[in-house]
Structure 1
Amino acid sequence: MNKRKICVVTGTRSEYGLLYWLMKEIHSDAELELQLVVTGMHLSPEFGLTYKQIEEDGFKIDKKVEILLSSDTSVGVVKSIGIATIGFADVLDQLKPDLIVILGDRFEMLAVSQAALIIGIPIAHLHGGELTFGAFDDSIRHSITKLATWHFTSTEEHKQRVIQLGESPDRVWNVGALGIENILKVPLLSKDELYNQLSLDKKKSLLLITYHPETHGDRDGIHPLLRALSEYSNVNLLFTKANADNGGRYINEEIEKYTKQNETAFLFDSLGQLRYLSAVKHADSVIGNSSSGLIEVPYLQTPTVNCGNRQVGRQRPSSVFDVELDEKSIKNGIEQALQYAGPYEQIFGDGNASRKIVEILKEIPSYLIQKEFYDL
């Protein structure tokens, strides 16, 4: 029996963390063959060459697609999309997968989707139907929905939104959020183990910070955030780098300056999933504007301070405190989070998304069907 070839594409550390268990399920299924393509930030020394972690986890990388330019501008991102489209045209022609799996809303995935559509490879899109008004990711996500054939959403509300975009209900499944599986399946580090690995001060508590640019152009929100955090000089301030959106390099430079001037502040290119989730578990709060603060963090019973507009529109539980990008608002949000004692709502599924997706991937047609617009 010929195995069905499922090509998974990943471009960032956070995205890989979400895809990990799905990739394991595909690889171990007797009816499927995993093809893995790595691109974007994974191949950049600036972001920690995280493709090496993928290999250390036991995955074989079939192709690498270099796309990042040494640029921090919107023009640079657009050029990266062009380079990515060309690169993926060659790779998909060589690998000839039956289906391609992509997650979310990154600009790299827009390039993949364009190439796959024209070449005639059906796309299974994960985490469609979500809203993030504060980033152009929102428009990219909905664009990928229209380029894709099969859809796997994280909530029922997101499923209905994909249908509202004209996708037939018989091609949309609510399977829950992929990231929940890491929380349920990965044995996390103890506090002592985490602090030892990261050289943190064991006498101090921990705040975990990830701040990305608001991709509609605002990168200066990092300044009031850093000023607000300066009030917490007796706390370990653990930063992870911003992503490769325009403005990301500037934010990372500002954080690096800050950590050099503050002995209790630490910046890491990438913590990896184990250390990141362990840090979430042991932190007093997660601060910034990453989607993980809204989706995965509540499952570890840690409050989130969500800064600015990047995640506006996304569903969130009551343990998320939304604040404006000014120093006073951020400080108030942190104080609220530090006093929060629950509840921690779990609105993104039961942690079995990967198995559900794999069973469906084995049954759906592996050719590009003629889509019709589904009217409500």
Structure 2
Amino acid sequence: MSAAATKVAVVYGTRPEAIKVAPLIAALEDDERFDATAVVTGQHREMLDQVNSLFEIVPRYDLDLMRPGQSLNSIVARAIDGVDDVMLIERPDLVVVQGDTSTAMAAGLAAFNRGIKVVHLEAGLRTGDLDSPFPEEANRRLLSQVSRLHLAPTAHAAENLLREGVDPDRVRVTGNTVIDALLTASRWVRPSDDPALDALLTEGRPIILATAHRRENQGDAMAAIGSALADIALARPDVTILLPLHRNPVVRDAVIPRVEHLQNVAVTAPLSYADFTKAMAAAKLVLTDSGGVQEEAPSLGKPVLVMRDNTERPEALAAGTVRLVGANRARIVAETLRLLDDPRAYAEMANTANPYGDGLASRRAVAAMAELVGTGKREADFVPA
């Protein structure tokens, strides 16, 4: 490492953030121009630790911020204070935040208030609706106001930023680092954490992988999702629905009573990243309200039905790898059965190139950061094949 290496603090707190920053941290650690420090807030405690272990990341700071029942404002306040303490100790040149979580927004604001350049990884995503997803849409917009370098995953995301008046010289299109992580994980050869999962994935029955957790879907919408999964299971007893369910009791109480009596619905605890990647690879199709899964599954050739009314990832809609079905019970069932029963409809979604990345996003991000601090030049923007 050079004596004049640029000090970079990478701040993250949730499992999706950890997955997306893991390849960037590895790329920074391999580049002598940078001295990278991993800072975790612990917003997703157990799931975050799993990802750090899988990617062999040892955080230098663990703020361990989560408390039972705390509000969003409490999370943000504690994150700002915790990150600020780290800024005073480390005095980094750059702070990298990822995506649109409360951790990311708080860390970006803390760095900005200390006069530290903020680098926003996965910048420029927008739904156009400030309340959906909540609070992510507001977080990502706020981060755009304090960031000095915007690492947009796609050209569409970059265009969103330019329309909002962001300086074009501060915007780079890198592709999404989640594809870098996925391609790394797909090469891992290891048994599942749960032997029963391996048995399920290899028994030969078609598998539908389903996830649901979004805050805006809690309540009646989550109940409708649970009912739709039950309808699908009853209509297609030859299919297994694998449902790794979020630990949030609001989610579990809405879904489990609707599916627990069905033998072809396998409800599990949240899967480790390695196991979830394995499950995606084995699945016939994916039902989700997650953002990251919309990016990952197409790389594995899996059609995705998104149980939300809008998405900040329209590239997949345009490419045809993703279809919005909302939290509408009848529509979820109809679209799922169509994909199971219509080979042409299935092929149209499964055999489409992923618009989100090629596995080189971290390299482009590091080059852009080097240009920002005057130690290198950017690489050409990512363009889908």
Q: With the length of structure 2 as denominator, give the TM-score of the two structures.
A: 0.83
More helix by share: 2
Q: Report the CA distance between 1:306 and its aligned residue.
A: 0.7
Matched, 1:357 2:365: yes
CA 1:191 to 1:120, structure 2 compared with 1: closer, same or farther past 3 Å? closer
Unaligned runs of 5+ in 1: 367-376
Determine what percentage of the aligned residue pairs are the same residue: 22
Instruction: For 1:312 and 1:53, locate their aligned partners in 2 and report how far apart those are by CA, in whole Å.
Output: 24
Residue 33 of structure 1 corresponds to: 35
Matched, 1:282 2:282: yes
Unaligned runs of 5+ in 2: 375-385
Matched, 1:179 2:178: yes
Matches within 5 A, 1:307-318: 307-309=307-309, 311=311, 314-316=314-316, 317-318=319-320
Instruction: For 1:63 and 1:200, locate their aligned partners in 2 and report how far apart those are by CA, in whole Å.
Output: 38
* Deviation digits for residues 86-125 of structure 1 (CA, Å, limit 9, x no counterpart): 1111122122211111111111211111111111111100
Residue 76 of structure 1 corresponds to: 71
* Deviation digits for residues 271-310 of structure 1 (CA, Å, limit 9, x no counterpart): 2332222211210111021113322211111011111225
Question: What is the one-letter code of the residue matched to 1:138?
Answer: E
Matched, 1:139 2:177: no
Aligned to 1:41, what secondary structure does the other structure show?
A: coil
Question: What is the one-letter code of the residue matched to 2:20?
Answer: L
Matches within 5 A, 1:140-289: 140-188=139-187, 196=195, 198-201=197-200, 202-215=203-216, 218-230=218-230, 231-232=232-233, 233-242=237-246, 248-257=248-257, 260-289=260-289
Q: Report the CA distance between 1:259 and its aligned residue.
A: 6.3
Question: What is the one-letter code of the residue matched to 2:15?
Answer: R
Matched, 1:334 2:336: yes
The answer to whether the 8 A contact 2:13-2:41 is kept is yes
Question: What is the one-letter code of the residue matched to 1:139?
Answer: A
Instruction: For 1:256 and 1:41, locate their aligned partners in 2 and report how far apart those are by CA, in whole Å.
Output: 25
Aligned to 2:44, what secondary structure does the other structure show?
A: helix
Q: Report the CA distance between 1:204 and its aligned residue.
A: 2.6
Aligned length: 354
Instruction: For 1:189 and 1:30, locate their aligned partners in 2 and report how far apart those are by CA, in whole Å.
Output: 27
Q: Report the CA distance between 1:163 and its aligned residue.
A: 1.9
Q: With the length of structure 1 as denominator, give the TM-score of the two structures.
A: 0.85
The answer to whether the 8 A contact 1:128-1:142 is kept is no
* Deviation digits for residues 238-258 of structure 1 (CA, Å, limit 9, x no counterpart): 223448xxxx54113434555
Instruction: For 1:161 and 1:235, locate their aligned partners in 2 and report how far apart those are by CA, in whole Å.
Output: 40
Residue among 9, 12, 21 paired with 1:10:
12
Q: Which moved more, 1:318-327 or 1:191-200?
A: 191-200
The answer to whether the 8 A contact 1:129-1:158 is kept is yes
Q: Which moved more, 1:34-43 or 1:183-192?
A: 183-192
Q: Report the CA distance between 1:174 and its aligned residue.
A: 0.6
Work out which structure has the larger RCO, using CA pairs closer than 8 Å and 6 or more positions apart in sequence: 1
Matched, 1:90 2:91: no
